[in-house]
Amino acid sequence: MNILVTGGAGYIGTHTLVELLNRGHGAVVIDNFTNSRPESLRRVREITGKSFALYAVDVCDEEALSRAFSENAIDCVIHFAGLKAVGESCERPLAYYRNNLDGMMSLLSAMGRHGVKKLVFSSSATVYRSDVPMPVDEDSPLGSINPYGWTKFMCEQMLRDVVAARPDWSVVLLRYFNPIGAHESGRIGEDPSGIPNNLMPFITQTALGRRPALRIFGNDYPTRDGTGVRDYIHVVDLALGHVAAIEYAEKNAGCEAFNLGTGQGYSVLDLVGAFERVNGVAVPCEIAPRRAGDPATVYSRVEKAEKMLGWRATRTLEEMCRDAWRWQVKNPNGFAE
Ligand code: NAD
Ligand code: UFG
């Protein structure tokens, strides 16, 4: 298939592009580089030896999107483009609603104009209410506690409504748990700007000496060791989940949601311990107060994706730690020169 990948220059987008191209699919990328650099796409070309067209435009710009559709025969879209920092979304809610909702609406409108009916959407585990029992399955009640999560919730609703009106459309909602790690080549990986919000980039930057210590947000949660538990998934497994999803969308109409996780919960201390053990480096830590809005435990039920997509995550926590560290060591400044 020929796939339009919005946000293709970002962390999950680049890893997915590699797996799509390796699988023999064609790609056209849209990215405005608001949270990425063209160098990441150059490296995707280097890893795969394949080329693809790039439109350096905003997904909210429907005319620019329309050009990408009319100049390429697109079969399916994967929509990664969006702003994703939970804390920033609380400070700048309108920027998040504007970017993530306008982007979704412009894309759906351009798809409609060009007769493209298959879409895979980057949703998130944050669309589940935080008080649901764990592991969480796809039928659990939805809700959010921050503007970022609400944008994902609203995009999902928009997509369910579009499919209700147009039953010949095929939409796959992928609810990611916590992607970490990097491609095993060490050429692409997560490249957060400024001080990382997420745990793994903070761990790798601390191990490298760029940060004095990892602050562990709370050790008094009702978990095994008191620290927060999450379902960490290797970004390459997540990327392969997208390949399975577009192949599912090719054959099935309707709107379906799938969790993409491993089904395993690990605590902050589990992750730090595995990282130190596998890589033989120290990660200085200090205990800090809980971070506002963090639930104690989040992990997924994965049976639906296994059954319907024929996909499951296979990479271990150790592989996630090893690959994240390889990327960080080889690229101490990420994709910057
Ligand atoms: P990322 O920031 O690395 O990638 C997003 C890409 O979209 C970036 O290259 C950015 O420049 C681009 N972009 C943003 N707004 C755009 C716009 N208006 N027009 C064109 N391009 C635009 O993030 P990621 O981690 O790769 O996440 C990809 C998607 O997955 C996002 O929608 C995110 O919300 C979702 N998601 C991520 C996580 C995670 O932990 N990384 C978890 C759940 C869901
Ligand atoms: N944590 C720390 N110190 C840090 C950073 C994080 O102790 O410096 C802890 C958090 O308290 C939490 C765990 O590490 O217990 C994971 O935190 P992350 O910030 O890495 O991830 P979250 O689970 O908070 O959220 C992530 C993404 C969201 C996405 C969600 C899906 O940031 O965008 O996963 O589950 F929606």
Residues 74-112: tens digit of each pLDDT: 999 999 999 999 989 999 999 999 999 999 999 999 999
- Locate 267 and state its tokens: 């605590």
Residue 176 clears pLDDT 80, i.e. is over it: yes
What's the rounded Cα separation, in Å, for the pair 37 and 39?
A: 5
Q: Ligand 2: which residues within 6 Å by Cβ?
A: 84, 86, 124-126, 177-178, 197-199, 202, 214-217, 228, 230, 268, 291, 294, 298
Residue 130 clears pLDDT 90, i.e. is over it: no
86 vs 312, residue with greater confidence: 312
pLDDT in tens, 258-295: 999 999 999 999 999 999 999 999 999 999 999 988 99
Question: Residue 299's closest CA among 152, 137, 131, 140?
Answer: 137
Which pLDDT band holds residue 117 (cuts at 50, 70, 90)?
Answer: very high
Domains of the chain by range and CATH? 2-184+232-263+301-314 (3.40.50.720)
In this prediction, residue 221 carries a pLDDT of: 97
276's torsion region: left (phi>0), alpha (psi -120 to 50) or beta? alpha
Q: How many CA atoms lie within 13 A of 154 on its CB side?
A: 16
In this prediction, residue 238 carries a pLDDT of: 98
How many Å lie between the centroid of ligand 2 and the Cα of residue 307?
28
pLDDT in tens, 179-231: 999 999 999 999 998 899 999 999 999 999 999 999 999 999 999 999 999 99
Question: Is 148 one of the annotated active-site residues of the chain?
Answer: yes
pLDDT in tens, 39-71: 999 999 999 999 999 999 999 999 999 999 999
Which pLDDT band holds residue 160 (cuts at 50, 70, 90)?
Answer: very high
In this prediction, residue 299 carries a pLDDT of: 98
Q: How is the beta sheet containing 2-6 ordered, strand by strand?
A: 53-55, 26-30, 2-6, 76-79, 118-124, 170-176, 254-260
Residue 150 clears pLDDT 90, i.e. is over it: yes
Which pLDDT band holds residue 321 (cuts at 50, 70, 90)?
Answer: very high
How many Å lie between the centroid of ligand 2 and the Cα of residue 196?
10
Residue 337 clears pLDDT 90, i.e. is over it: no
Share of the chain above pLDDT 90, in %: 97
Determine whether the shortest distance from the Cβ of 35 to ligand 1 is under 6 A: yes
In this prediction, residue 293 carries a pLDDT of: 85
Ligand nearest to the CA of 86: 2
